[in-house]
Amino acid sequence: MTTHLKRWWPLALLLVLLIAPYSTLPLPGLLDGPLGSPGSLQLIALCLVYGGLATGYDLLLGRTGLLSFGHALYFATGLYATDLAMLELGLGFVPAAVFGIACSIALALLLGSVSLRVTGIGFSMVTLAFAQAGAILVQRNPGGLTGGEEGRSAPAEHLPDALIGIQNTANLYWIAVLYLVVTLAVVQWTVSSPTGRIWAGIRENERRVEVLGLRPYGFKLVAFTVAGGLAGAGGVVYLLLTGGATPQAASSDATLALLVMVVLGGSGTRWGPLLGGVLYTWAAHRLGDLANSESIAELPSVLRVPLSQPLFLLGTLFVAVVYLLPGGLARLPARLRAGRAARAAEGSVTAVPEGAA
């Protein structure tokens, strides 16, 4: 029975996600309105998108052992390239989305081929430099293309009617679900492939992979490119959900947020990055509402000042999880099972049979 539950619970969860727009179930404290309301669906969709982004990023961090500080650059590339393809080239949404994802893949291939020439902290610093250059380019607004700090909105005339308006929020939500499913499928397929097993070897001991006659560089570049393409696809979905491209998507803070999501959920696990992405995104939105609530405003200043800062609350949550749950939330069930087994073994050893000398 337990085996069947482990096998089928993802499909059951997917079914729940698919029918959520038809639900009027109230979730006070978790969501502002009923489950199927436009505001709730918008928030859940954003959580799913960032869960997918964190899962794709974990191809680098958790599966291959590559600490990249520039992953948000490819997310922003898909976002901006799709928007500009509609605004400047007059393309419809589908061709523009294909163009945006292709740009993310091409950029990841190009910059990855350069970044992966170095290893360790050098690789992290090179990716950070590329990300900072991209963020500066967006802020400078060359030729009026990026819109600078204001960003640029998506042209409604180039979007399908089924994706415009609050009444079609459910359609955008289902696209977010589709993106998450595709990302999970791609990650699972690649990790289970021979290439994925070589990624695991690189993560554990890159020198040993070289001794076996394999070149880690090419395999790492594949991981870098696949992760970049998945991030670009996430940028396309994010464009639909938010209705525009903003420079915050290209900032280094966005990559640091992805890093926090992965560590929070559990790096290198199947469901951990998804869990961390969903929890972090939900907390970032809901804790902002809590920080601005009347209950916080009525507290003494010594409590009101820190608690009115959402980043302080998020940081406290992150530190607590890292300290109390090493390995992330995904490893919590295994830790609980190990604790129960240890207590049971200790009890059986210390128990003394009645009548024993």
The 10s digit of each residue's pLDDT in 333-351 is: 777 777 777 777 777 666 5
How much is the average pLDDT of 53-82? 94
Which range, of 110-114, 123-127, 206-210, averages the lowest pLDDT?
206-210
Q: Give the pLDDT mean for 94-106.
A: 96
Over 50: is that where the pLDDT of 357 sits?
no
Beta bridge partners of 244: 153
**Does position 32 have pLDDT exceeding 70, yes or no?**
yes
Compute the distance between CA of residue 11 and CA of residue 319 in angstroms, rounded to an integer: 32
The CATH number fitting domain 37-346, selected from 1.10.287, 1.10.10, 1.10.3470, 1.20.58: 1.10.3470
Q: What share of the chain is helix, strand, coil (3-state, %, to 5)?
A: 75, 0, 20
Separation CA 273–CA 266 (nearest Å): 6
Query: What are the tokens at 274?
Result: 């998804």
User: What does the block give as tokens for 259?
Assistant: 């890093």
| Residue 305 confidence (pLDDT) | 62
Q: Does pLDDT of 1 surpass 60?
A: no
pLDDT, tens digit, 9 for 90 and up, residues 5-23: 566 788 888 898 899 999 8
The pLDDT value recorded for residue 212 is 86
Q: What is the mean pLDDT of the chain?
A: 87
Q: The pTM is what?
A: 0.89
Q: What is the pLDDT of residue 291?
A: 65
Query: What is the band of 318 on the pLDDT scale with cuts at 50, 70, 90?
Result: confident
Average pLDDT over residues 180-199: 95
Residue 127's nearest CA partner among 245, 234, 259 is 259
Across 49-53, 138-142, 284-288, the highest mean pLDDT is recorded for: 49-53
Residue 131 confidence (pLDDT) above 70? yes
**What is the percentage of the chain residues whose pLDDT exceeds 70?**
88
